[in-house]
Amino acid sequence: MKSFILLRLRAFRKDTDASVSIEFAFYLPALLFIFAAIYTYFDAFKQESANLKAAYTVSDLISRETNAVNNDYIDSMHNLTKLLIRSDSAISLRISVIRWDEDDDRYYVDWSVNRGTALTSWTDATIFNVEDDLPTMPDQERVILVETQNDVNAAFKIGLPDMEIFNFVFTRPRFAPQIVFEGSTDSGGTHDDGVGDSTS
Residue 3 lies in a domain: no
Would you say residue 75 lies in a domain?
yes
Instruction: Kindly state whether residue 146 falls inside one of the protein's structural domains.
Output: yes
Q: What is the pLDDT of residue 193?
A: 44
Q: Are 143 and 171 in contact (CB under 8 A)?
A: yes
* Burial 177-194, CB ≥16 within 10 A → b, else e: ebbbbeeeeebebeeeee
Sheet holding 91-101, edge to edge: 106-115, 91-101, 142-152, 163-171
**Domain assignment of residue 178, yes or no:** no
Q: Which amino acid is present at 172?
A: R
- Kindly tell me if the per-residue pLDDT of 89 is higher than 80: no
**Average pLDDT of span 130-141:** 94
Q: What pTM was computed for the model?
A: 0.75
Domain extent at residue 161: 21-171
**pLDDT at residue 3 is higher than 90:** no
Residue 144 within any structural domain of the chain: yes
The answer to whether 59 touches 169, Cβ cutoff 8 Å, is yes
Q: How many domains does the chain have?
A: 1
pLDDT digits (tens, 9 = 90+) for 137-181: 999 999 999 999 998 877 777 777 778 889 999 999 999 888 999
pLDDT tier for residue 185 given thresholds of 50, 70 and 90 = low
- Return the pLDDT at 85: 87
Query: Residue 51's closest CA among 89, 24, 23?
Result: 89
Q: Give the mean pLDDT of 58-64.
A: 95
Residue 195 lies inside a defined structural domain of this protein? no
Q: How many CB atoms lie within 10 A of CB 69?
A: 20
Give the percent of the chain with pLDDT over 90.
52
Residue 163's DSSP bridge partners are 152
Per-residue pLDDT tens for 4-42?
787 777 776 776 666 677 777 878 888 888 988 888 888
- As a whole number of Å, the end-to-end CA separation of the chain is 118
Spatial distance between the Cα atoms of 181 and 185, rounded to a whole number of angstroms? 9
Alpha helix positions (H), the chain: 2-14, 20-63, 71-85
Give the pLDDT score at 186. 54
- Would 192 be classed as within a structural domain? no
- Is 189 among the domain residues? no
